[in-house]
Structure 1
Amino acid sequence: MKQTWRLLVTLMLFITIMAACGSDEETQKRDANAQKAAEAEVNKEGFPIVDEEIQLTMMAPGNGIEEWENMELLKDYTEKTNIQFKYVTPPASDFQTKLNLAFTSGDIGDIIYGAGTDNLTPGMEVDYGEQGVLIPLEELIEEYAPNLKKLLEEKPDIKKSITTVDGHIYSLPMVSDETTAQWYTGPLWYNGKWLEALGVEELPKTTDEFYELLKRFKEEDPNGNGQADEIPLLDVKMESSRPWLLAAFGIKEWGIEENNGKVRYAPMEEAYKEYLTYMHKLYEEGLLDSETFSQSDEQKKAKGQDSRIGVFPDWYSFFTTGEPEEEAVGNPMFYPLTNDDSREPVIPLGHGMSRGAFSISESNPNPEASIRWIDYFYSKEGFEYLNMGPEGHLWEWEDEEEGTKQKLDTPEGYESSEDYRGSLTPDYGITTPSLRNDLDSLGEDTQFEQFIKEETAEKIEPFGEIGYPLVYLTKEEQKEVNNIEVDLNSYVEQMEAKFITGVEPLSNWDNYVDTIEKMNIKRYVEIYQDAYNRWKEND
């Protein structure tokens, strides 16, 4: 028995010693890699970025389709740059938790890629930047990132929007020059077949005209089935159609909004009451779907595919109707409404950028090489490469001298070309640091792509305004805002549904405003006014 016990103890000691040796070897290897990376000279132009291969670590949200080390884009880019990465890519659904744990443990790696503001929030940028965990990037951009430098010079609002309260840039954005980047959210679309059935040649431009058309949708059987089953207007909790309908009453943002330099909280303005009154009228008369506040997106789409809806939100109309693209060009985009003939229409614009896409940690041994690595994707050529991968997978040259490409067929085993693309490149479903643009190397636009450009040029560009810029708050301001928003957002959202459905009569509007005022709304607006003033002063 004693002999067996001694054997077990000896075995445990051996395992412990071997584990320690393995750990020491890993540490030595990691230190050697870091030392080599730190000593590598960085070429300021062209490829490779460093003459001898170095290794860095990257943390990013995985897309669930392919491991990053197997992606053709990243393998090819490693060869171009001589920078190899060890990837840590937890599922996107778990990424926020994993990133927070990594910050707590001090092991975030050398680069955080593709996090986006849902995961690497503006508050985290400020906090970890001030602590020195994330390093400032502005001097690196100046010296090693010509594409980024050019972008920030040409679009100073972007630079203002990624510069924190202490004057530093701790994270790079995803910027988009794509046509749809102007969209605040998916537009409202009209059912073109219904318009044709009713002989409608001009879209509504006032709230009264819109109301009259919705009544016709309800009463004149535009789907031609002889049943009164038409739903003139629908949404899911007003989440997508709200911005377009609020704009009819001069409101650009459901919350904090800036008008001529003055910040206000829109959901307590008289204009918001007018919006609620109008929407209640639509709901009461059966023009707004009775299931708006209870249905799922899947239920909404089922009604669209059953030809039961007249006006509906989605990114593209065929996502709801199920039509092919070539038929969807018959569904016109919503034209901005106004409820006052003396006022110009307005439509909220998207910011055209998302923050929190790329940060460098204090442990990174070669920030210069890292910023050069990412800078390429802020060029037109670099974005096409990031988006479509290297030649031979999604595309091949049609005429290399002319710079034109042609698409290749999707291999068997993939449900769609997008799923295949997601196996080749990380530019799939995450906030990839890049300057996105409409891909024009694949030849002429399709009929649908041209339709989208024309509709956007006619119905969004002339009327678009940004409701409130992307700003940073101080740590103290962020704490105050978080405390106020806990109750404020929930209350306003609940009351919108109650007012529109009539559960809460609009005669109780004053009580609603009083309740909001008691939630410290004055201080809330003051904080955002100060943040706007700081943003504006960076002009």
Structure 2
Amino acid sequence: MGKSTKKSWVKMITAMVLVPVLLTGMVGCSGSKGENSGSVASGDFNQEGLPIVKKPVTLKVLTVRWGSMGDTFTQNQWLKDLEKNTNVKIEWQVMSSNDWAEQKSIMLASGTLPEVILGDQSFSDSDIVNNLSYFRPLDDYIDKYMPNLKAAMQETPEMKQISTFPDGKIYSLPARLPSRPITAQQPVINKAWLDKLGLKAPDTIDDLYNVLKAFKEQDPNGNGKKDEIPYSEVGLSMDFLNPFGITDLNATSMMIKDGKPVYFPTSEEYKAGLEWVHKLYSEGLLDKELFTQDGTMASAKHQNPDAPIVGFSNQWTPDAVFGKWSDQYETIPPIAGPDGKRYSTGDPSGLSYRRNELLITKFCKNPEVAARWADQFYTNEASIQNFWGAIGTVIKKNDDGTYSLMDPPAGTSADAWYWEQSLRDFGPKYASPSFEQNIKLSPKTGDGLKLQLDKLGNEYVATPFPNVMYTSEEFQELPTLTTDIDTYVNTMRAQFITKGGINEGWDNYIKKLNDMGLEKLLKIRTDAYNRYTSVK
């Protein structure tokens, strides 16, 4: 038996063993100790107020967590109180992201899903769109049983926009995370190097060129070696082209220009940006391994143990990247481009919105109970407790009506503590914009630090091509188009930067993209954009 045949037999046997296990563990409302194990009688269900049901009922909820993160979040006091107040007991099935892809394939192939699926790491747009018959349309449930979410959608239309599928219905519930910034990656520079060389932080692309040149030639780390790398990343981050008006928040190679979707790798701004980057590369101001290194290699340079060797890059926050050298780095305002304007990658409405945070499947016997349970998550206090941790455990509710975060236990980072104590990024949430002024975060670390740094660039954030939704047919066509087109664009980007020749090669580059089906790709992206913006 050959290796490939052997593997397929192993997979088949694994599937045969796992499917019954998955099925017995996931279907229906299980009950014990007098709890309801079937559909709730109409007289036991309360359409408003608490408890949701007069007699206890159990919902089976599946969620996926990163790696071996486990299920400590289930001990969140708010979740415990929710169970008591609603009479809805949750039987959690917590899966690891490490083996979720295989488990998910088996589940979808079996045609049997759990009652409720929580968190956008569980099922993607294409998983849902290609298996719509497994999921309940939620519009009527929102209208009848979810006043909190309904009010949130009226106050913040993005909540409805991001949740509406191509057929005009809502199959998954959204989230608006609390206290998120508007900017994504921002320019970060080694301030200690600037001070040593008597330089100011760069304000324009000409300044940046001069600073990078000084970093290369004047030994700013003081170790007597020519080991400084003025700029280093994995590939060329599109954030490096921000001064030329290029932003790509959702990695689609699309941006909005004059209110219309544009494919920027064929734009004049992109061409001018690559010409400028080629000049920097040809003078040794960019990492010579820019297009050949992976994340591990880049991280080793950012955290070089003997001395800092990277001068400039675009990052979320300096402390997330530069390790023990973090104190030497500072975030600076966006750099002005050739037109004198500044641009920053992000979203003017905030990096807060997500979809696919909760799905109710057709296998749920009490969908109205699940809908009312989910609606409890859409209050301000519920949202912060499911993002950071419970009031009294992680969050302190102050006498003046504000909320602040407690210090994590010794030996634990704040971020790790929040993941341990809450659903964190996953699950339904809505913190209203007006409520956010009551949340007081430390400006020195984590989420609070990012909000401080955000002030440097948020007025320059360009409207991004949104996180649109595609139809089943579009999902079938997209991979074929993007695989060839993206590969070619990335290859030519590296070539234009390392070898030059963009002026001579530009027309042929455009022609080849058109031959590959760029027009069809643009139509799919534009149709999806038009559907997204037409949602009212």
TM-score tier by shorter-chain length is 0.7 to 0.9
- Shift in alpha-carbon separation, 1:42–1:293, aligned structure 2, 3 A: farther
Q: Structure 1 402/324 Cα, relative in aligned 2: closer, same or farther at 3 Å?
A: farther
Structure-to-structure mapping, 1:65-104, within 5 angstroms: 65-67=69-71, 71-73=75-77, 74-104=79-109
| Deviation of 1:526 (Å) | 1.6
| Secondary structure class of the residue paired with 1:468 | coil
Q: Which amino acid aligns with 1:104?
A: A
Please state how far the C-alpha of 1:287 moved relative to its aligned partner.
0.8
**Structure 2 equivalent of residue 248 of structure 1:** 243
Confirm or deny: 8 A CA contact 2:162 2:354 kept in the other structure: no
Q: Distance in 1 between matches of 2:430 and 2:535?
A: 22
Q: Does the aligned pair in 2 maintain the 1:179–1:456 contact within 8 Å?
A: no
- Mind listing any 5+ residue stretches in structure 2 that lack a counterpart? 1-19
**Paired letter, 1:355:** R
Matched, 1:466 2:463: yes
Aligned to 1:208: 206
Corresponding residue of 2:321? 320
Q: Is 1:174 matched with 2:169?
A: no
1:504 Cα deviation (Å)?
7.5
Give me the whole-angstrom Cα distance separating, in 2, the residues matched to 1:263 and 1:445.
Answer: 38
1:158-200 Cα shifts (integer Å, max 9, x gaps): 31221112110111123234242x233x323111212222333
Report the equivalent of 1:258. Answer: 256
**Alpha carbons of structure 1 residues 70 and 41: separation in structure 2 relative to 1, 3 Å:** same
Give a deviation string over 1:484-539, Cα, whole Å, max 9, x none.
12211222222222322228866333322222111111111122222222223334
Q: Does 1:279 align with 2:312?
A: no
Corresponding residue number in structure 1 for 2:221: 223
1:125 aligns with 2:128: yes
Query: For the structure 1 residues 42 and 531, does the alpha-carbon distance in structure 2 shift closer, same or farther, using more than 3 Å as the test?
Result: same
Q: Which residue of 1 aligns with 2:394?
A: 394
Q: How does 1:424-443 map to 2 (within 5 A)?
A: 424-427=421-424, 431-435=426-430, 443=440
Match of residue 360 from structure 1: 360
Contact 1:317 1:331 in 2 (8 A): yes
Q: Which residue of 1 aligns with 2:374?
A: 374
Taking a change above 3 Å as real, the CA distance of residues 464 and 227 of structure 1, as seen in their structure-2 partners, is same
Moved more, 260-269 or 162-171: 260-269
Mark the runs of 5 or more structure 1 residues left unpaired by the alignment.
1-18
Offset of 1:436 from its aligned partner? 5.4
Question: What do residues 304-328 of structure 1 show as CA deviations (whole Å, max 9, x unaligned)?
Answer: 3331121123321022222488x46
TM-score (normalised: structure 1): 0.82
> What are the residue-to-residue correspondences of 1:9-24 with 2, within 5 Å?
none
The residue that corresponds to 2:4 in the other structure is none
> In structure 2, what is the Cα distance between the partners aligned to 1:323 and 1:453?
22
Specify the alignment match of 1:292 in structure 2: 290
Question: Alpha-carbon deviation of 1:423?
Answer: 3.5
Q: Distance in 1 between matches of 2:525 and 2:28?
A: 47
Cα deviation, 1:48-97, whole Å, max 9, x if unaligned, reads 33232111111211342333695344444322322122223221132233
In structure 2, the residue matched to 1:108 is: 113
After superposition, the Cα gap between the structure-2 partners of 1:425 and 1:452, relative to the gap in structure 1 and judged at 3 Å, is closer
Structure number, greater radius of gyration: 1
Conservation of the 8 A alpha-carbon contact between 2:36 and 2:56 = no
- Structural RMSD (CA): 3.2
SS of 1:57's equivalent?
Answer: strand
Which moved further from structure 2: 159-168 or 246-255? 246-255
Aligned to 1:8: none
1:407·1:442 contact (CA, 8 Å) conserved in 2? Answer: no
**Alpha-carbon distance between aligned partners in 2 of 1:394 and 1:454, rounded to the nearest angstrom:** 21
Shift of residue 450, structure 1, vs aligned partner: 6.2
Q: Distance in 1 between matches of 2:440 and 2:529?
A: 42
2:157 is equivalent to residue 156 of structure 1: yes
* TM-score, normalization by structure 2: 0.82
Deviations 1:118-137 (A, max 9, x none): x52223333333x3x21111
Moved more, 431-440 or 95-104: 431-440
What is the percentage of aligned positions where both structures have the same residue?
Answer: 27
Runs of 4+ in structure 1 displaced over 6 angstroms? 437-442
Distance of 1:28 and 1:49 partners within structure 2: 15
